[in-house]
């Protein structure tokens, strides 16, 4: 029997189909087989670029992907600066996914990549109402700390947050330890000490998280990474989320109110 080369078809209108001549296999769409980095371009540079590259290399290692042909950050910075100037703050999503098609078992370790460029918007300063998810759990794995393209838990957490009319949602792991927020890491302060969930709780190793931890260490401020139950937040004076765009203070979570005034030491990191 003659081998049938894969062909992509697409509906043009009801019950009518066309062959898509230039379509390519896309394991990002088929299997979520890849990684992404969300980066901020400011003043001609990608902010925290070394942290992004370190996390990307860890992700490539965990997914058994080759990064030898990936674009260089410096080349991306040059292109963006030439195209849109250095003064336009931009949000960049860098998608990296395995090449080829295959089925669940891939045919290569090589990768493809693309970039989505958008207007940058800072994180909201305050999130008034935060809920704890009752439908989504995150599960630790060798790659749960990586930013993989398989993001359905976070999509469903976003759906739950909108349906319950919250400004943010907290996710727990499979043993009900605090893990992270819907698109951010989570920190809280008790007295003068900072707390954040360990990566063993299934949270993503956020770039903002890494920068904050480094800043706290440099400043000699105690910070605890561990496994914490949700009741620990009742002891907190402050609660905030962090991602690469900045931090957001939590005003209230599950009936508990928090101090949402500025934290200059932390907020200065993202200026």
**CATH value at residue 130:** 3.20.10.10
Rg of the chain (C-alpha set): 21
Render pLDDT for 89-108 as a digit per residue (tens, 0 to 9): 999 999 999 999 889 999 99
CATH of the domain at 28: 3.30.470.10
16 pLDDT band, cuts 50/70/90, is confident
Q: Say whether pLDDT at 22 is over 90.
A: no
Query: Rounded mean pLDDT of the chain?
Result: 94
Examine the domain organization and report whether 186 and 260 are in the same domain: yes
Examine the domain organization and report whether 164 and 233 are in the same domain: yes
Give the range of the structural domain holding residue 30, as residue numbers without chain letter.
24-119
Write down the residue that tokens 């008790």 correspond to.
190
Residue 5, in any domain of the structure: no
Examine the domain organization and report whether 246 and 139 are in the same domain: yes
Domain final residue, candidates 119, 152, 182:
119
Render pLDDT for 214-231 as a digit per residue (tens, 0 to 9): 999 999 999 999 999 999
Percent of the chain residues topping a pLDDT of 70: 99
Residue 10, in any domain of the structure: no
In sequence order, which ranges of the chain are alpha helices (DSSP H)? Answer: 27-31, 49-62, 73-84, 152-163, 207-218, 264-267
Examine the domain organization and report whether 131 and 265 are in the same domain: yes
Looking at the structure of the chain, the number of domains it has is 2
Domain final residue, candidates 69, 93, 119:
119
Give me the mean pLDDT over the 41-66 stretch: 97
Is this prediction's pTM over 0.85?
Answer: yes
What is the distance between the alpha carbons of residues 223 and 172, in angstroms, rounded to a whole number? 20
Residue 225, in any domain of the structure: yes
2 pLDDT band, cuts 50/70/90, is low
Query: What pLDDT was estimated at residue 24?
Result: 78
Whether 226 and 103 have beta carbons less than 8 Å apart is answered as: no
Query: What pLDDT was estimated at residue 1?
Result: 62
Give me the mean pLDDT over the 196-223 stretch: 97
Domain final residue, candidates 119, 147, 163:
119
Examine the domain organization and report whether 226 and 260 are in the same domain: yes
Give me the mean pLDDT over the 129-145 stretch: 97
Query: What pLDDT was estimated at residue 35?
Result: 98
Whether 240 and 180 have beta carbons less than 8 Å apart is answered as: no
């Amino acid at each position: 029997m003659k081998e049938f080369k894969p062909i992509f078809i697409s509906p043009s209108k009801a019950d009518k189909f066309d062959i898509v001549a230039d379509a390519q296999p896309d394991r990002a769409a088929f299997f979520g087989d890849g990684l992404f980095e969300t980066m901020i371009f400011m003043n001609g540079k990608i902010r925290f670029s070394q942290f992004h590259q370190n996390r990307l290399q860890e992700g490539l290692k965990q997914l058994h992907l080759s990064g030898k042909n990936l674009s260089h950050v410096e080349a991306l910075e040059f292109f963006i600066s030439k195209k849109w100037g250095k003064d336009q703050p931009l949000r960049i999503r860098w998608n990296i996914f395995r090449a080829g098609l295959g089925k669940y078992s891939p045919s290569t370790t090589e990768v493809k990549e693309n970039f989505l460029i958008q207007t940058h918007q800072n994180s909201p300063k305050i999130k008034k109402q935060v809920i704890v998810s009752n439908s989504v759990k995150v599960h630790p794995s060798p790659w749960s700390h990586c930013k993989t393209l398989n993001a359905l838990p976070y999509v469903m957490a976003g759906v739950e947050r909108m349906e319950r009319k919250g400004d943010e949602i907290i996710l727990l792991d499979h043993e009900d330890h605090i893990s992270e927020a819907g698109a951010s890491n989570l920190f809280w302060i008790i007295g003068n000490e900072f707390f954040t969930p360990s990566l063993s709780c299934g949270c993503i190793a956020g770039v903002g998280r890494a920068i904050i931890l480094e800043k706290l260490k440099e400043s000699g401020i105690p910070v605890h990474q561990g496994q914490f139950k949700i009741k620990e937040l009742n002891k907190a004076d402050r609660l905030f989320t962090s991602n690469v765009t900045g931090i957001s203070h939590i005003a209230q979570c599950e009936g508990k109110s928090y101090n949402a005034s500025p934290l200059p030491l932390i907020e200065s990191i993202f200026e």
